[in-house]
Chain A
């Protein structure tokens, strides 16, 4: 078929392929049938995956992008299909993940008339997309797709939505696929700073005796891991990574402080409290890492590097702001730096690490960190790990040892339960030869477990490690600590038998109930060529520490329950003994 004979939907699929979209996830419906017809007729290289829920489709595209750096497409119908993607789009938006979402729409003449399955998805999603389009003419499609891809993948990445009325899909598209972009207002600016800013940063760094580097998702997205390491080693400065920055600086490096913030390490938080200079490389300094924003690094020089100028001063007012791509900035900065003399500081930090190590209870039942630890050993730290949201997520973040970026995939900004399994499916599609492990909770897993079908059908060897504490554990932890143990709406009684559930899909299901069996059972799951689910019966009552209680500064990081004495057993079923001291 020559290009000038295609219809809008065919132009859409061909345009997606032309710009390099390799995979699409979705579910069809009335308004999307022309698009699915085009998938049938003109698709060549792009893979299409039929999923079980549109939210999952978006999370799968998200997981794919976070594992590969490349955006995927989401292809859904109008109304409920489009609305179901909202949580997934928001999750991607909050975490700066590129994604192209194509929604079918009612025919143009019916727009605004409450037609069957008409939803104004363009306006519904406006605050959670980087940009969006409602396509009015088939001839606009090649340009819109090119622009969408460009916008989604450059600057601070993010999701772009394209709403395609059904009759735009069936109208002839008479222009070629090489349409020019027309984006006069779009200015990603990887080098939105001048040499004087770089000089200022270098001067501040030269003066600092106690520097700390915070590395975030921006460092991952700009592939700045090499430059970041050079920065740390030149300055001899410790590095702490955010939830989404995990792995961009090796967890095994002696300068690593691991994570910071609400459930960060006590030594990272302490280093932040005592530093005289904080340089943020691609972290947006959100409320989960700051403690009390106005007290965060109050007396330290604050340097903020971010490709998105709108991040400066949102919560923390930087002394030096540098708008630019992390890698580009560091490349410009590194030649100006001299070797730092921070021996005393590093010694002090070593002391913090000895005094407040990251530990976990090993007695009195099975503890999630033990399982993560075992996974580190069994996979040689090479697995790609996705998580759901809750306590298990924080333990996974704390105890998983990642030495590379693109290895740890978690919903940070949105904290979307249900993310773990579909994200793992997307990641596995993106990295077929690698071990992909999903760490999920019994609560969140049940929100999106319908896509077990997708894992089974495509024989994706994802390993689902379900930390089953029979509770919405993270909420219970807050009720325990701050609401006098009034457990309201957190008991997950009626959980299914997850092993049988997996088996019903033809997925290997295993139970893990005793600590002694951890290596054996995990190995069995990891060695299995297809998907596997391990139901891990962990202790029901356990809390994630360290913790900065909400509304408290990082100084107030606690290592144990505020109302329980150090070393005193928690005093209820499966409650572990804990020891610890207030960090401060």
Chain B
């Protein structure tokens, strides 16, 4: 068994019913576990952009890319290494915090350049963007307090320079 790595895939797909299901099936049939999946409008309305991070072996990945590329609705399916792309993720974290600890939490937020987007007597909602690793680190530190809810968008990527995503 070759070793399982996390891969970044970007798929440009015609916005048609069933397109997402077909792509998801292609991954699951080959035993790829999708870690995050972001679907959003492409530059023009008829197309969608999907960013998928998935774990699996190299040979299997090549098959998945070819199988996805051959789907009738798919225009392009590409893998990108971390170096080739700008990668971003957004997280919203709701932390239970009373006035005694608010300062410490805000200090952590400040360190990660997170914004306070909601504040109530017993909780605070922070918004942070950046690499997935940076968000991991922030969530980790906030784990000292009680995290009531966590919502992350999943990673989106865009190829640098002249390269196509």
The residues of A with any CB-CB pair to B shorter than 8 Å are 122-123, 126-127, 130-132, 134, 136, 151, 183-186, 308-310, 312-314
Asked whether B25 lies within 8 Å of A134 as measured between CB atoms, the reply is no
B72 touches which of A183, A312, A314 (Cβ 8 Å) = A183
Is B144 an interface residue, CB under 8 A from the partner? no
A-side contacts of B67, CB under 8 Å: 310
> What per-residue 1/0 map shows which CB atoms of B44-72 lie under 8 Å from chain A?
00110000000000010011001101111
Write 12 A-B pairs (CB below 8 A) sorted by A numbering: A123-B18, A126-B22, A127-B29, A136-B17, A184-B46, A184-B75, A185-B13, A185-B14, A185-B71, A185-B72, A308-B70, A314-B63
Asked whether B72 lies within 8 Å of A130 as measured between CB atoms, the reply is yes
Instruction: Give CA–CA (A185, B46) in the complex, Å.
Output: 12
Closest chain-B Cβ to A140's Cβ sits at a distance in Å of 11
Asked whether B66 lies within 8 Å of A312 as measured between CB atoms, the reply is yes
A-side contacts of B69, CB under 8 Å: 309-310
Instruction: Give CA–CA (A376, B106) in the complex, Å.
Output: 87
A134 touches which of B17, B29, B59, B70 (Cβ 8 Å) = B17
Residue of A at shortest CB range from B68?
A310
- Between B29, B59, B66, the greatest number of chain A beta carbons within 10 A of the residue's beta carbon is seen for B66
B-side contacts of A308, CB under 8 Å: 70
Instruction: Give CA–CA (A207, B115) in the complex, Å.
Output: 67
> What per-residue 1/0 map shows which CB atoms of B75-91 lie under 8 Å from chain A?
10000000000000000
Closest chain-A Cβ to B130's Cβ sits at a distance in Å of 33
Closest chain-A Cβ to B117's Cβ sits at a distance in Å of 36
A-side contacts of B75, CB under 8 Å: 184-185
Instruction: Give CA–CA (A184, B59) in the complex, Å.
Output: 28
- Between B17, B22, B72, the greatest number of chain A beta carbons within 10 A of the residue's beta carbon is seen for B72
Instruction: Give CA–CA (A122, B63) in the complex, Å.
Output: 24
Asked whether A186 lies within 8 Å of B72 as measured between CB atoms, the reply is yes
Instruction: Give CA–CA (A184, B42) in the complex, Å.
Output: 14
B-side contacts of A151, CB under 8 Å: 72
Is B43 an interface residue, CB under 8 A from the partner? no
Closest chain-A Cβ to B22's Cβ sits at a distance in Å of 6
B-side contacts of A310, CB under 8 Å: 63, 66-67, 69-70
B-side contacts of A134, CB under 8 Å: 17-18
A-side contacts of B46, CB under 8 Å: 184
**B65-123 interface with A by 8 A CB criterion:** 66-67, 69-75
Closest chain-A Cβ to B72's Cβ sits at a distance in Å of 4
Residue of A at shortest CB range from B67?
A310
Q: Given known contacts A126-B21, A184-B75, A186-B72, is B62 in contact with A313 (CB within 8 Å)?
A: yes
A-side contacts of B22, CB under 8 Å: 126
